[in-house]
Amino acid sequence: MKIIVTGAHGQLGRALCAHNGSRYEVIGFDSRALDICDPKAIDEKLKEVQPDFVFNAAAYTAVDQAEDDAERAYELNATAVGHLALACREYGVKLVHFSTDYVFDGMKSSPYLVDDQTNPQGVYGASKLAGEKLAGDDALIIRTSWVYDAHGKNFVTTVLKLLKERERLTIIADQIGSPTSTSSLAAANLSLSEKGAKGIYHVTDEGVASWYDFAVAVQEEALRLGLLKEEKQILPINTADYPTRARRPAYSVLDKSKTRDLLGEPFPYWRYQLRLVLKDLL
């Protein structure tokens, strides 16, 4: 099996290349090597590589910046996905597209099912929802949440940096979700792809946490591993105490029963995966 990974230099793209590369031929393209906003460039790469799958990890992910850069967010998260989907259908290639918990408004108090009503609260979520629709019914669409790894800029690496620089952190405690490592996401993606899944599936690590819980766990695990030398104070605050340009879902836990039923195996617990990611930093 031959796989193209777009956005190959991002944290998810790197994980997809690493996880799939041990079993299949993987060709990763960053935005300079393949501009997915350019239909001609997509057509040329599909003709050249002749892949079985395209894993689309390219995305506009700056949630707050998207509020003032809506045109670019929609171009990359929606229009470009339509270009990929059209080309994949023409050449008989299976498209796998990654989406987000931000397609929901966060008003539920129980995990979101794949067919629950979507209601994005900002440009980022709306552009990703538009991308889902343009990917089409024949694509595999994987929604996930709170993605991180040992590299790049994400919540875990940011918290570690701040814990080394400051004596005290304040972290939002009234937004609830499921932290998800890129390795978990890449593994589930491959399993779903191998089984020929299409339509929408939810993939996250097991368990739930607030951003505050997540930050406390990062410090505890980092201290245990010796990544941090001293414990710092982490204080919980409410969303209202830390206004941002874009509104975040207050509750964005995703129901994974459809995914578990197909794969026949549980997902790893988020705290266990966090420990593995931090060990990777060693």
Q: How far apart are CA 199 and CA 25, in angstroms?
A: 25
* From 124, 148, 201, 251, active-site residue: 124
On whether the CB atoms of residues 24 and 48 are closer than 8 A, the answer is: no
Question: Alpha carbon of 53 to those of 97, 201, 212, 215: distances in Å?
Answer: 11, 17, 38, 36
Distance CA 79, CA 90 (A): 17
Identify whether 24 is a catalytic site residue.
Answer: no
Q: Which phi and psi (to 5°) does residue 78 adopt? A: -125, -70
Residues 6 or more apart whose Cβ sits within 8 Å of residue 173: 210, 211, 212, 213, 236, 237, 238
> 24-37 burial, b for 16+ CB within 10 Å, e for fewer?
bebbbbeeeebbbe
Rounded Cα distance, 54 and 56, in Å? 6
Instruction: State the Cα–Cα distance between residues 131 and 97, nearest whole angstrom.
Output: 9
Give catalytic residue positions. 124
